[in-house]
Amino acid sequence: MQRGPVVMLRRLLSCTSGVALIEFAYVLPVMLLLYFGGMTVSEMIAANRKVTVAARTLTDLVSRNMSPAIVYNDPGAANASRFLSASAVALAPYKLDTAIQQISLLRVCDSTHAYVVWTQAQTQNTDGSTSSPATSTDVAGTLPTSEAQTADTVVSIPSNMVSPTMIPASPDGSNVCDNLNPGDSTTTQVGTAGAYMFRGTVTYTYTPPITFFEAGSMQLSDTIYMAPRLF
């Protein structure tokens, strides 16, 4: 009585018709995940490279064309809008309205810190045809006027960017970065001495064309330091 079902089961197990189609159906989701995942990662790497190029372009342009001494003496008159806009072009063909370009003039006060003399940031519309000011992440001080400074005008910098000759010395041996009050015969006020350095930063909010597991957008950023070519 049970011979019929057993024979049918044996025939079913021995049948190989459509196996390739079934295996392909199993493999297809994995293949699609690998393909689109690889495409997304490649696109993100390309966008990150564009951010690095834009940051380097910005810092290089400013360091070649803006005098730190002039900016220091009149920071309110300093304007790097054309250089900020030019660096944004390096991000093309990506949409520029999610990018922010920022440039700051720093004055070294010890081996790992510098005083923010001046800073400017901007963003733009999608194609970069118009720009608008953005909030800088750096806080500029008020020198060269003789008044006390605040601790948030001092920022960290990479130690490998600073040589001993770039660091100012205070007569009493104190760390210039800590001398926030106007200097006197025994102290050197922060921001009034030390080597200059430009710092350019570009941030870009990258949104992959296809997202997995609700990864969403991610922030790409790079910062470049350069010594000024002018004085």
**CA 210 – CA 216 distance, rounded (Å):** 9
- Domain presence at residue 81: yes
For residue 114, being part of any structural domain is answered with yes
* Listed residue (127, 154, 122, 124) closest to 138, CA to CA: 154
Is 102 among the domain residues? yes
- Whether residue 132 has pLDDT greater than 60: yes
Closest CA to 190 of 117, 119, 118: 117
- Once rounded to an integer, what is the mean pLDDT over residues 125-142? 93
Domain count, the chain: 1
pLDDT, average across residues 123-142 = 93
Residue 1 has pLDDT above 60, yes or no: no
77-88 per-position pLDDT tens digit: 999 999 999 999
Beta partners for 118? 105
* Residues ≥6 apart with Cβ < 8 Å to 89: 128
Does 3 map to a domain? no
Least reliable range by pLDDT among 26-35, 90-99, 192-201 = 26-35
Residues with Cβ < 8 Å from 187, sequence gap 6 or more?
170, 171, 172, 174, 179, 181
Whole domain around residue 194: which residue ranges? Answer: 18-226
Cα–Cα distance measured from residue 112 to residue 18, given in angstroms and rounded to the nearest whole number: 68
Q: In this predicted model, what pLDDT tens digit does every residue of 7-49 receive, in sequence order?
A: 777 776 676 666 777 777 888 888 888 888 888 888 889 999 9
Q: Is the CB of residue 199 less than 8 Å from the CB of residue 59?
A: yes
Residue 11 lies in a domain: no
